[in-house]
Amino acid sequence: MELETKYRIIHNGEKAFGKGPCLLLEKVDKLGSLNKAAGELNMSYSKAWSIINKAEKMFGETLLETHTGGTDGGGSYLTPKAKELIKAYKGFCKEADEVLDELYKKYFRGI
Amino acid sequence: MELETKYRIIHNGEKAFGKGPCLLLEKVDKLGSLNKAAGELNMSYSKAWSIINKAEKMFGETLLETHTGGTDGGGSYLTPKAKELIKAYKGFCKEADEVLDELYKKYFRGI
């Protein structure tokens, strides 16, 4: 037996941020492209774009900046707000998992 | 913005217990009948039965005792193990929600 947890941030009952959007942003940060990030996650570009777009609307902040052309052919990069958001979510999840692991032992020991 | 959490207990990757099974057991305890409990939760009897059956297999314990006939027409009641399980899960959820609420404030304040 083990505990499975899920944490998501909602706004007016709608999902604003969670594991999926966080992973997508991390991939964009690593690959420098929303299209490549979507591809690595087996997700369509339009799906990836809508996840980012929805989170941006919820937070009222730009998360992704896109530049086109140039010698590198353009790409997307994260805004400082997006990096802050990833850091907060990952920090939260790590500490939450640790605390809940202890609580799980406390309540379910012997069951 | 607010945090939404989900806690479930899994066994070999399969769901063993969570919010739904807990609520179902509580209803059976209150109504004295699995059929009535299923009805109140807009769930078929077979679905309710399979939830209980699955949890019983996962925990290797009987959770529901059923008696038929008698002056009250029979019914279902919880075993001490089922009551212990409800108590543990509810206690866990309450404390987990409190702790995560604090953690959420800690990490997402100002975001």
**Tens digit of each residue's pLDDT (9 = 90 or more) over A11-70:** 888 888 999 999 999 999 999 999 999 999 999 999 999 999 999 998 899 999 988 876
B99 touches chain A (CB under 8 A): yes
Confidence (pLDDT) at A6 = 92
Hey, what CATH class is A13-104 in?
mainly alpha
Confidence (pLDDT) at A73 = 67
**CB atoms inside a 10 Å sphere around CB A6:** 11
Token digits for B41? Answer: 């939760």
Share of chain B above pLDDT 70, in %: 96
In this predicted structure, the answer to whether residue B1 has a pLDDT above a threshold of 90 is no
A58 touches chain B (CB under 8 A): yes
The rounded distance, in Å, linking the Cα atoms of B105 and B111 is: 10
Mean pLDDT over each residue of chain B, to the nearest integer: 92
B98 touches chain A (CB under 8 A): no
ipTM summary value: 0.86
Inter-chain touch B4–A9, beta carbons under 8 Å? yes
The rounded distance, in Å, linking the Cα atoms of B67 and B79 is: 13
Inter-chain touch B108–A92, beta carbons under 8 Å? yes
Find chain B residues with C-beta within 8 A of A95's C-beta.
103, 107
Find chain B residues with C-beta within 8 A of A59's C-beta.
1, 111
Q: Indicate the domain borders of chain A.
A: 13-104
**CATH: 1.10.10.10, 3.60.110.10, 1.10.3720.10, 1.20.120.140. Which one for B10-105?**
1.10.10.10
The rounded distance, in Å, linking the Cα atoms of A16 and A5 is: 17
How many C-alpha atoms does A79 have within 13 Å on its Cβ side?
13
In this predicted structure, the answer to whether residue A105 has a pLDDT above a threshold of 70 is yes
B59 touches chain A (CB under 8 A): yes
**CB atoms inside a 10 Å sphere around CB B88:** 20
The rounded distance, in Å, linking the Cα atoms of B18 and B6 is: 8
Inter-chain touch A7–B9, beta carbons under 8 Å? no
